[in-house]
Amino acid sequence: MKQLFIYSILCLSLAACGGKKNNAAEPQETPAADSIVEEKIVALPPLEEGEVFLKDKDPFGEVVELQGNHIVEPDTFIFKPASPNMVIKDSLMIMQSRNAPFYIFRYPEFTYIKTVGRTGNGPDEFVAPYVIASLNPAYLCYLFERPKGMLYGLDKKLEIHPIQKIHSSKSMWDYIEHIYAAGKNSFVYPKGRNIYRATLEGDSVRTEEIKDMTLKQAKKMPATGCLGINPARHRMVYAYKYARIIKFMDLDSNAERTLNFQQSGFDEGTLHIADGLDANVTYYMQVLPTRDYVYITYSGRTPYVVAAENNKGKHHMYVEKYDWNGNPVKKYKLNDFCVYTVLDEKTNRLVLSTYYYDDPLVVYQLD
């Protein structure tokens, strides 16, 4: 785990150094927020529990191949995001990047508005930032400083407000990498082998373990993966990085459905994990939840193979679509590669932030 962390920091540092100087346009007024129409959400049927084996089967049917729309920067702003993640909210796209720490663009025009936050180790500064979609109407999104476990809110005037410290790290290895809003004052995050819920209660935080994600078939294998949650449907999905396995659960983990594309039966002997984690195949990279469906990005190659292909200009990845009961719906092949993407739920546009283009943004229309 220590080797993986050091390798990740190295990669992020190199990416941050590779950018050009920003020639940013003058900050402009924030566009008006979109009107929100409340819709009644029909309850889902109960999860059909158990494990479904799908190796060598074809649950998606024909793979749909898509061509992306490469966004050529429409103004003078030049940027090179470093390990970005993004949130789309109220005609804005907020992008976290280690060298920013937060870029704000108009959406869907992708014109630059401003950069918010300060990079550094001081009070209210960011070293390893993360942007989180907000369920609190007071904030466009949350901004999270991972090493300090500190949560901030970004309001509609694009001003940052400290909220609360969610997690106190016991060491440099003890931190929350990805976190998601589960309600106005509650958050869900994976850490180590477990999924936790943190609830803000006044000045205190109540933390509870929801689920141990260790695979019963391979207990020594890292439980690394990606999480997505749907509070309105009371569901969450966990897709493993080093095994082609996906778990569909309710938010309290009382019911569970497992999709196993790996093989009909495997154990510590058959599922070998190399000492250097980047020598292993990366299966799932990101879970993108929407109201009715969940999309999961898929590589199926080692990072070394992906890097070699990208150097030759051969880019591709997959997106798998499921309903919230764990039924495969559709599979797409994209002619680009990106670990961090954002899905516009209103239009089903998938925005990729690539690292091999000078203008990094590429848009795909999924449905």
Residue 170's pLDDT is 79
Give 91: exposed, middle or buried? Use CB within 10 Å, 0-12, 13-18, 19+.
Answer: middle
The HSE-up count of residue 139 (CA atoms within 13 Å, CB side) is: 24
246 closest CA partner among 53, 66, 23, 100: 53
What's the pTM value of the predicted model, to 2 decimals? 0.86
> Measured between alpha carbons, how far is residue 362 from residues 3, 104, 131, 357 in Å?
32, 17, 20, 9
Q: How far apart are CA 141 and CA 152, in angstroms?
A: 9
Long-range contacts of 252-255 (CB under 8 A, 24+ apart): 252/210, 253/195, 253/210, 253/211, 255/46, 255/47, 255/49
Handedness of CA 23, 27, 31, 36 (dihedral sign): positive
The 10s digit of each residue's pLDDT in 81-99 is 877 999 999 999 999 988 8
First to last CA, the chain: 38
| Residue-wise pLDDT tens digits, 212-247 | 999 987 788 889 999 999 999 999 999 999 999 999
Instruction: Kindly state the average pLDDT of the residues 17-39.
Output: 46
Q: Which two tokens stand for residue 148?
A: 């300090």
Structure tokens at 102: 């937060």
Residue 315 pLDDT level (bands cut at 50, 70, 90): very high
Task: Walk me through the domains of the chain, giving residue ranges and CATH numbers.
Answer: 2-25+49-365 (2.120.10.30)
Q: Decide: residue 338, CB within 10 A, 0-12 exposed, 13-18 middle, 19+ buried.
A: buried
How far is residue 322's CA from residue 328's CA, in Å, rounded to a whole number?
A: 5
Query: Does residue 18 register a pLDDT over 60?
Result: no
Listed range (19-23, 70-74, 108-112) with the worst mean pLDDT = 19-23
Report pLDDT for 304.
92
User: Which two structure tokens, joined as six digits, stand for 356?
Assistant: 């091999």
